[in-house]
Amino acid sequence: MPVKLGIVGVGKIARDQHLPVIAASGDFELVAAASRHAQVDGVRNFTSLAEMLDAAPEVEAVSLCTPPVGRADDARRALARGVHVLLEKPPTATLSEAHELVAAAEAAQVTLYASWHSRFAPAVPAARSWLRDRAVRGARITWMEDVRVWHPGQDWIFAPGGLGVFDPGINALSIVTHILPQPFALRAARLAFPANRQGPIAAELSFQDVLGAPIAAELDFLHTGVQRWDIEVETDGGRLTLSKGGTEMAIDGEVQPVVPGAGRPHAEYEPLYAHFAALIAAGRSDVDLTPLRHVADAFMLGERVAAPAFDF
């Protein structure tokens, strides 16, 4: 029988990805939605998760697609009811909240899944496999997009806890922490904050892996024209390039085959929900906080520089 699922937060990412994938899934049945400003046709709708859990005890799992600030409260509430929880990225607003949720899930013996959708991009598994036995000499992340296109009017992104440019940048970090064979740590960072905002709009990051290989990242939330989501890795066996957010892969400029389905609109979220279903069936959790830890390190270690005021 499919798991009876509720979705919390019916914004752009929920409508673009979660709802279509859930509708097509044989693992889940959407039975309820909770949102302050929107509804989902064909299911019971509520204004909060608390209201949903009280009125719809049949809900066995929830997908939390709200902004990260406040998400931990909903997750804690669901776990206490014995309900499995999927967290959109980033999983929580702070590392402390995430660790508390891990303990709560263990105590309740239910599944907690901190999802990183970019790790399911079509070329990422092939990149991880190719890099597994190679020595990395260096890597570079170039993640440049236009916030007005991808997050129009979403002021919460630049509020405390919204992460600013790290909202997309954490997708890149979720990929590189997954594909590189050695762990790495931040050595320096430069974060540009608009005069009227609390979140950075651009960032330059310098990491080093445990064997000394440098990893640089350039993140820009004001990039117009062709959007760039690229990762280049220099190794003793050639240069690997992931482009278009992990959709395409090349070795020394030669395009490589990737998993079937590249280019489908839901190519990342279909396997993400399949993994959530497998975790529930196995009674396990999956909470990798490494990408969030790197972002926290950037805020702790980064030099803060002024940027012009920003408005949508």
Q: Which residues are catalytic?
A: 89
Distances (CA, A) of 291 to 50, 166, 276: 29, 10, 19
What does the DSSP 8-state code read for residue 2?
A: P
Q: Which one-letter amino acid corresponds to residue 12?
A: K
Nearest to 273 by CA among 110, 1, 98, 61: 61
Under DSSP, is residue 249 helix (H, G, I), strand (E, B) or coil? strand
Contact 178, 192 (CB under 8 A): no
Tokens standing for 25? 């899934």
Element (H, E) at 306: strand 303-307
Distances (CA, A) of 273 to 22, 87, 152, 176: 8, 11, 27, 21
Q: Which one-letter amino acid corresponds to residue 105?
A: A
Q: How far is CA 181 from the centre of its chain?
A: 20
Tell me whether residue 136 is exposed, middle or buried, using C-beta atoms within 10 angstroms of its C-beta: 0 to 12, 13 to 18, 19 or more.
buried
Tell me whether residue 137 is exposed, middle or buried, using C-beta atoms within 10 angstroms of its C-beta: 0 to 12, 13 to 18, 19 or more.
middle
What does the DSSP 8-state code read for residue 107?
A: H
Tokens standing for 150? 């991808």
Q: Determine phi and psi for 224, rounding to 5 degrees.
A: -100, 175
Q: How far apart are CA 268 and CA 247, in angstroms?
A: 10
Element (H, E) at 204: strand 202-209
